[in-house]
Structure 1
Amino acid sequence: MKNAQAKRYNHALKQAGISERPLALLDLEAFDSNVIALRERAGGLPIRVASKSLRVRKALERALAADGIRGVLCFTLSEALWLASHGLKDLVVAYPQADAEAISRWASSELARTEITLMVDSAAQLDLIDRMVPRHASLKIALELDAAYYPTAGLRIGAARSPLRTPEDLVSLVQEVQRRKGFELDGLMAYESQIASVPDGGFAPKAWVARALRTRSAAELAERRAEAVHRVRDIADLRFVNAGGTGSFETTAKESVVTELSAGSGLFAPALFDSFRSFTPTPALFLGFAVVRRPDTRTVTILGGGWAASGPAGKDRLPRIEHPHKLRYLALEGAGEVQTPLTGPTAHRLNVGDTVWLRHAKSGEPAERVNKVAVCSKSKIVDQWPTYRGEGKAFL
């Protein structure tokens, strides 16, 4: 973030009378630019918005209003039911569920059965639904193929998700679905996290390894996914084949069997996406924290700041300090739950009450920390959008 940008945000907030800190600020022009950039990278395929990476309903609705964006990839069934009640359509829940109350509401609502598709990857999950709602009308489900890369036996690179690794595994579960009453196969999904969310930019050895693994994984998965989809289509109809994430559009969009891509993080552009070679999203979501004390002349302390991202613990999971430049965390304290000391050659310029701007390492998670997002457009605060939390919802 440049000095002029920080000054513009600070002035806009002051003019709007918004003094609370911490706060989240969404740059609307950057958000819209990222929508366009994702669409251009998608190669003509529609994009399903991953709601977990936003968790702001109005941001979801703005993205869905754009050309080339279609449907939502939800993270819980309760969330999908809530979004459906607000008129959102074509909702695919990306993770299996065990919430009896939500499953009962899904099964008993014609609207929910029409608009919501639930992910499963085992017969045990179908058994669970049958036990929770013994007599149910047709429920739409999708199956997830494991998209992780296995360079050697016993070594998995990628998220531990579905047990359905081979085309044979997938076909077997399709046949199980067809034998049962009350379930309708709607689509397939395979999420290649080892490509979509692993930075590969730079010249460090880690980046070279990441690029080699991405290339090999993409080639292996394209072949396996194509075989799996063709074999399933031989025995069943599929409305969609969902794949990819923000960081894998360039490879996933080339696969002829894929009918839609998923993305969410690319809209807010969190810090983890600063180091990809194939694309450069525009940072859109910023977090402002107030300076509240000065332990010494080279150190200031902000209130809060310890909003570490999920995933393996490491420095890359801490918020990135955007402005002022040349500030850094104290090695022995890092980012704290209640306060975060920052040091560096620019610390002496900050006064108590000034704002330090950070960016979260991941997208969506900051929405669990604030009730609303200040929306900045053309150097003015034009709206404040409630987060899921601000609307009284905490789905996970």
Structure 2
Amino acid sequence: MIAERSELQKRLDRATADLETPIAVVDLAAFDANAAALSLRSAGKPIRVASKSVRVRALLERVLQRPDWSGIMAYTLPEAIWLVRNGVSDDVLIGYPTVDRAAIAELTADPQLAAAITLMVDSTAHLDLIDAVTAPGKRPDVRICLELDASWKPAGPLHVGVRRSPVHSAAQAGQLARRLVARPGFALVAMMAYEAHIAGVGDMPPGQALRARAIRMMQRRALPELLKRRMAAVAAVREHADLEFVNGGGTGSMALTAADPSVTEVAAGSGLLGPTLFDGYRAWRPTPAAFFGLSVVRRPAPNIATVLGGGWIASGQTGPSRQPTPWLPEGLRFKSDEGAGEVQTPLVGAAAEALRPGDRVWFRHAKAGELCEHVNQVHLIDGDTATPTPTYRGEGYAFLG
């Protein structure tokens, strides 16, 4: 492992030797290997790429050229419209409800967009808002996807998982489906149930043996309940609508979700880039493919090397797991009293003593796509060659900015 990381550092340094920091890179060999590994784990079911975890148009296009990858799960309606208009995909599911009236007006005014984009709903209130923008009869039918809450509720008010849809039971899903199909101007074409407490929670968090044991116990109990409930909910919804697809899962639950006969497609995005949060999974860990490089600018002490920048903190519950990780050279860590700083980041560890101003340190982000909110371009590394490619931000779009 040490030798592999040393060779990776040499390759990244050679490919980017003439470039200034901060710099973000994606190793295409690792990206492609991760895409192939996810295809194997999907067991023949199509994989919808989660654009939130990529945010580089060229990389979305690259993975969609693979035979097992089909369609995009976008995170906002303006993003979905942009992707369709630029020919990236003609099958875009939005993973979250939208209340963007301007974007809804654009969607409902264009039959091509309306045919390519599927909106997420979990309430008739979402339909009311769309009708208020463009009335039925004055627009093409709007494609909608019903979201089932996949979280685990073992007893009483106890809730394990993220707070997404209010639709939890098969009966609730069937009742909502009946109301949705009764509304003119809409077509219920899909269903989604994302098991965040399984797909998004690593069962081997480093240095937390007791927590790991508790997570595994929770997941062992939660998964059978979800499989049974999701199957019943899909059946209940199919009584009212001829669904084109049922989406579920993510990188962290790919094989488990693909084995569910009620699911027709799975989703993945983070696994393509291999951020540090996915180091805490036993079943499969992607090869790290995305890095950002910062330069050493001073040596405040013999055992400290300080880089410029570094505070690229991931979203979610704040803590050490959301900080980036100094990765190359191996043997670096943050000072416990400073962490990753906005403007400067002091690093300690055995490797720090050998670093000098101008040397480069490579970091891994805790999450995948959020790296791209810090840079206008990533450099795609192919051997010793680095090709600059714009991120969403570099193309002028911050869809949640």
More displaced stretch, 318-327 vs 39-48: 318-327
Q: Deviations over 1:214-255 (max 9, x none)?
A: 111111100000000011112210000000000001211111
Q: Residue 26 of structure 1 aligns with which residue?
A: 26
Q: Residue 245 of structure 1 aligns with which residue?
A: 250
Question: C-alpha distance in 1, partners of 2:240/2:140?
Answer: 22
Q: Residue 270 of structure 2 aligns with which residue?
A: 265
CA drift of 1:13 comes to 1.0
Question: C-alpha distance in 2, partners of 1:82/1:65?
Answer: 19
CA drift of 1:112 comes to 0.4
Q: Residue 124 of structure 2 aligns with which residue?
A: 123
Question: C-alpha distance in 1, partners of 2:22/2:311?
Answer: 11
What SS does the corresponding residue of 1:58 show, helix, strand or coil? helix
> Please, what TM-score do these two structures have when normalized by structure 2?
0.96
Match of 1:373 among 371, 378, 385: 378
CA drift of 1:384 comes to 1.4
Q: Residue 82 of structure 1 aligns with which residue?
A: 82
Asked whether the 8 Å contact 2:111–2:140 carries over to 1, the reply is: no
Amino acid at match of 2:128: D
Question: C-alpha distance in 2, partners of 1:25/1:182?
Answer: 45
Question: C-alpha distance in 1, partners of 2:342/2:103?
Answer: 33
Match of 1:166 among 143, 165, 169: 169
Q: Residue 331 of structure 1 aligns with which residue?
A: 336
What SS does the corresponding residue of 2:212 show, helix, strand or coil? helix
Match of 1:13 among 13, 16, 26: 16
Question: C-alpha distance in 2, partners of 1:230/1:219?
Answer: 17
Match of 1:358 among 353, 363, 367: 363
> Please, what TM-score do these two structures have when normalized by structure 1?
0.97
Q: Residue 91 of structure 1 aligns with which residue?
A: 92
Q: Residue 288 of structure 1 aligns with which residue?
A: 293
Give the aligned CA root-mean-square deviation in angstroms: 1.1
The answer on 1:390 being equivalent to 2:391 is no
How high is the sequence identity, in percent, across the aligned residues? 47
Q: Residue 325 of structure 2 aligns with which residue?
A: 320
Q: Residue 198 of structure 1 aligns with which residue?
A: 201
CA drift of 1:379 comes to 2.5
Amino acid at match of 1:109: D
Match of 2:213 among 195, 205, 208: 208
CA drift of 1:111 comes to 1.1
More displaced stretch, 216-225 vs 168-177: 168-177
Q: Residue 234 of structure 1 aligns with which residue?
A: 239
CA drift of 1:380 comes to 2.1
Match of 1:187 among 180, 185, 190: 190
Question: C-alpha distance in 2, partners of 1:361/1:12?
Answer: 23
Q: Residue 146 of structure 1 aligns with which residue?
A: 149
Amino acid at match of 1:45: K
CA drift of 1:99 comes to 0.7
Q: Residue 348 of structure 1 aligns with which residue?
A: 353
What SS does the corresponding residue of 1:282 show, helix, strand or coil? coil
CA drift of 1:102 comes to 0.3
What SS does the corresponding residue of 1:155 show, helix, strand or coil? coil
Asked whether the 8 Å contact 2:11–2:383 carries over to 1, the reply is: no
Q: Residue 51 of structure 2 aligns with which residue?
A: 51
Question: C-alpha distance in 1, partners of 2:182/2:240?
Answer: 12
Question: C-alpha distance in 2, partners of 1:375/1:206?
Answer: 37
